[in-house]
Amino acid sequence: MAFRPPTPGLLVDNKYRLAERIGGGGMGDVFRAEHVLAGRAVAIKFLHPELADNSELSHRFFQEAQAVNRIRHPNIVDVIDAGVGDLGPYIVMEHLDGESLGMALARFGRLDMEAAVGVAIPVLEALDAAHRAGIIHRDLKPENIFIAFDPSRGSAVVRLLDFGIAKVLDSDGPSPRTRTGVVFGTPDYLSPEQATGDSPLDGRSDLFSVGVLLYEVLTGTRPFRAPTAVATAFRVVHAEVPTLASAGVTVDPRLEAIVQRLLQKDPAKRFQTAGDVVRELERVAADASRRTAALGRLINVQRRMALSLGNATENERDRLSSSRDRSRVGTPFDVSPAPPMRISPPLVSGSRVTEAPPGMRPSSEPAKPAPGATLSNALRNRGSEPTLLSQRGESLPTVRSADLGLRAEPTVRSADFGNLINRQRDTRRPNVTPVRPLPARFAGQYHVRGPVLRSVDRTIVDEYGRSARDEVVAQMPLRYADDFRHDSINALVGYDLEALDAYMELATSLVLRDLERWRDIGRLGVGGELHSLVRTLFARPLTDIASLMRRGTSIWSRLFTFGSWRVATGPTGRVTLHIGDFDPASLPLRLWVVGMVEETARRASGGGVKVTITLGELGFTSELACEISL
């Protein structure tokens, strides 16, 4: 059965009116919606239409609703309804006002002890209930933990999300939905037994993941991070467990011991139940009110309370609802952040480094033109700033405070220096073109799907030749270059945004010489690598631009793990495409997106379409808005 893609304005089962898309991933999209009779705001998760006919995926999709209702715990997001409609399988959940732990970490770098424990205890209480019900979560990560404002309490609460790949422990043996050779979960947070598949899983696997989460929120780094998923899984299984102190963070020794015990390779050496961990953490941070207050500062409960009571000023209301406040780096409102973890390089091309408040890392803001300056002048100034590069052409790593003499470094024998120099000489690449790195606040946080990289790469080859493209790839960081060099980019895989950003920056300098060409490359991609994704829009000419844009956003938005896409029609009939939370996108990527949208609309409407950028024609700003007209 063919299902229509969900788009804003559609009615789901005559009950829920869809508003804007608020999230999603490889399996589906999440929309804010409203119950048309009760007036209640909800969140609806849809399985992607192209996956809905897969009975196994549909079964796993509804498993989340079944698991949540089997557990019934206040720290787990509530599932209200589920079904299959014209838009395919869907699950209706409570709508949460706040932000994910992943977003909080992106803004603050790391959390103080009380906030970290304040997040961990509710998650562990939810896991304890799940484990007692015979359910293992298997996909704990910052994006699946939400810090929400509860107006009935006037405080922040923590909700555990996404039981979509949870495992049900049946007395008859393993779940039939876990096939041999298939590993579910996110590599950084896998337990050793989850990574190898050598032994049955139980609740202690989730406790290992909690240990990874605690390490990350306290230090700002992941304990077993490696360049690839396979290398990360290998480190999870074999690498020695790092201490918090080795990352330059000093905490209560009892908390250090808790994290170390959670991260033991042998499940028998970990805590045996989530409840045991809760009791130990409560001894470390005993004051529940202080933990709650620390969480409240992360999402600015005071201002949210004023908004819910109608006491907020118009300016405060705009700030709170703005995507800029949800994703901006720095100290929002009155938060007292944790001490700094890294010292950013003082010179970053395309950015100016702003002085950070005490305890926070400096943030890089996009350079803005002076009053009256043209965009071309701003871009010219942007390109003239120096960049810190290693001899391999990669941006220099950030320096932790722990690296500045606070801990002993391993001794290097003089005989080793020759080998080090030779290795460095072997990996050095000549004629390195200086480019600005992706701003540090976005590093490792966001991904783009394979079709974007394939489209950009193929179009460069077709338009400028393989030798020009090879020159670009030759100067890319080695960890990203191989996929381009061997044409092994997979359309179904998400790739680090850094890979696309490095490619675009180098291609701009070495090949295009003109930023506006990225808009042309976006247009050309629609007739090439992107055609199979958008061809459903070309089935018949559509003259209703608003409807066309809504259908298009359900496709385009899946290409990125960032950005909130919505379409609006003004009083005069003008149609606007607005993308919020688009901070990680550079100017080349923005122009490429506009070109892709423009050409898709032109082909789908069978006529001339004009797309005018009205907001966000500078890289690394919160929003991008375009006006579309025939």
269 appears as a binding residue in the annotation? no
CB 421 within 8 A of CB 412: no
What tokens were used for 300? 């600015």
Q: How far apart are CA 187 and CA 592, in angstroms?
A: 31
CB 346 within 8 A of CB 353: yes
The DSSP element (H or E) to which 428 belongs, if any, is: none
CB 285 within 8 A of CB 118: yes
Q: How far apart are CA 141 and CA 102, in angstroms?
A: 8
CB 316 within 8 A of CB 325: no
Single out the residue of 168, 233, 157 nearest to residue 201, CA to CA.
168
Strands (E), 137-221: 145-150, 155-160, 167-168
Annotated catalytic residue: which of 139, 206, 501, 581? 139
**Residue 385: which residues within 8 A CB-CB, separation 6 or more?**
347, 348, 349, 350, 351, 367, 436
What tokens were used for 150? 């509860």
Q: How many CA atoms lie within 13 A of 170 on its CB side?
A: 8
Backbone angles phi, psi at 306, to 5 degrees: -60, -40
Q: How far apart are CA 339 and CA 247, in angstroms?
A: 13
Query: Angle at CA 126, nearest 5°, toward 123 and 129?
Result: 150
Residue type for position 178:
T
Q: How many CA atoms lie within 13 A of 17 on its CB side?
A: 8
Other CB atoms within 10 A of residue 309 CB: 10
CB 457 within 8 A of CB 507: no
HEC profile for 490-542? CCCCEEEHHHHHHHHHHHHHHHHCCCCHHHHHHHHHHCCCCHHHHHHHHCCCC
CB 577 within 8 A of CB 549: yes
What tokens were used for 535? 């061809």
Could you give the 3-state DSSP secondary structure of residue 202? coil
Q: Does residue 266 carry a catalytic annotation?
A: no
What tokens were used for 324? 């800029």
Single out the residue of 93, 105, 147 nearest to residue 123, CA to CA.
147
Q: How far apart are CA 119 and CA 101, in angstroms?
A: 8
Q: How far apart are CA 259 and CA 210, in angstroms?
A: 9
Catalytic residues, which ones? 139
Residue ranges for the known binding site for ATP are: 45
Residue ranges for the known binding site are: 45
